[in-house]
Structure 1
């Protein structure tokens, strides 16, 4: 087992991704929050992201899954997406974080990833819709989780064998393909369950 170590170089690409993902995720949460407020003002209205019975936000927002903790889920995003932005900016500024900080950040991204996976399952198999802004959140949450885990492994923040660390470092370069592969799995499941292509014809 190797000795935990910090990355010898500043993870600039990771930092830029965290900022970009944070901004996109925050904007998606903000847009969904506005839509939810609009629906609260006029329950008979349609959300601006309601395109057809399958591709829509409204049904998701007013569902029980849309307020799983007793308040609209987008509020969680408004608060949570600030974290990767701050971490990304701090990394670019040369900050060095303690191991406990990385563990907490990883715990947060893991929680976000698990929540998104649950929402994907609920959206496809229970609610039967695909929410555009929700999908934007999925798109940035999934690779953010992957990047964080791989970073902790490759730097030794998570104790691992040298081969695991080298594998994590190598896999980081394949992150776009890994993310696209994850999106493809979701798209295939959605197509088989909801016939997305058929709804667009």
Structure 2
């Protein structure tokens, strides 16, 4: 399915929505980091319980793995899919090399998020609320982008593969739900009763 024959409106809209949500989560984490820098003993608004909190993540070495707070990556990185989504809706057409670079960026984001998920669950043993928001939009964005780069000819010129990728786009929501379920299962097996914690937080118990 050639990029020249169709404009991926739904994909573009998702990129915009995911970018706004992801950027907002990164902004909130950045604000919380500023609060910690001003007062290391401050109680953060996202610290809901011993297992559901941002503080432990932000203060860990994993929270600044590149030498600066990870949320800064989100503040800058989410601008790329936002611009791409808006440009697509405006009628822009991108060359194959551009889509390849975009795919590399999204793949890096997905890989980094997977690593952070494992660190949060198996090392820090906490789940950061705003981090989870970032995970929630990065995962489907990766799935959708990989399929889009297949159907638009970036990965392959084989028409059959492009058509199959286009049909698989409808399964991205299901794949995303399965990914979420795997994360919850990982947390449960590590002893983080995520669902129980959320119920207690919501009910005030």
Task: State the partner residue of 1:82.
Answer: 79
C-alpha separation in 2, matches of 1:195 and 1:94: 46
C-alpha separation in 2, matches of 1:112 and 1:135: 14
- Aligned match for 1:91, one of 66, 88, 92: 88
C-alpha separation in 1, matches of 2:51 and 2:45: 14
- Aligned match for 1:143, one of 137, 140, 144: 140
C-alpha separation in 1, matches of 2:120 and 2:155: 33
Task: State the partner residue of 1:121.
Answer: 118
C-alpha separation in 2, matches of 1:85 and 1:106: 14
C-alpha separation in 2, matches of 1:59 and 1:130: 9
Structure 2 residue 154 is the aligned partner of structure 1 residue 157: yes
Task: State the partner residue of 2:203.
Answer: none
Task: State the partner residue of 2:193.
Answer: 195
1:20 match: secondary structure: helix
Q: Give, in angstroms, the shift of residue 192 of structure 1.
A: 1.6
Task: State the partner residue of 2:66.
Answer: 69
C-alpha separation in 2, matches of 1:195 and 1:9: 45
Q: TM-score, normalised by structure 1?
A: 0.94
Q: TM-score, normalised by structure 2?
A: 0.93
Task: State the partner residue of 1:185.
Answer: 182
Q: Give, in angstroms, the shift of residue 163 of structure 1.
A: 3.4
Structure 2 unaligned segments of length 5 or more: list them: 201-205
* Equivalent residues of 1:110, 1:145 under 8 A apart: yes
- Pair 1:182–1:85, CA change in 2 (3 A): same
Q: Give, in angstroms, the shift of residue 47 of structure 1.
A: 1.1
What is the aligned-residue RMSD (CA, Å)?
Answer: 1.4
Give CA-to-partner distance per residue, 1:94-127, whole Å, 9 cap, x none.
Answer: 0000111000100000000000000000000000
* Equivalent residues of 2:11, 2:85 under 8 A apart: yes
- Aligned match for 2:165, one of 165, 168, 174: 168
- Aligned match for 1:133, one of 127, 130, 138: 130
Structure 2 residue 17 is the aligned partner of structure 1 residue 27: no
C-alpha separation in 2, matches of 1:152 and 1:101: 11
Give CA-to-partner distance per residue, 1:105-159, whole Å, 9 cap, x none.
Answer: 0000000000000000000000000000000000000111111110011122211
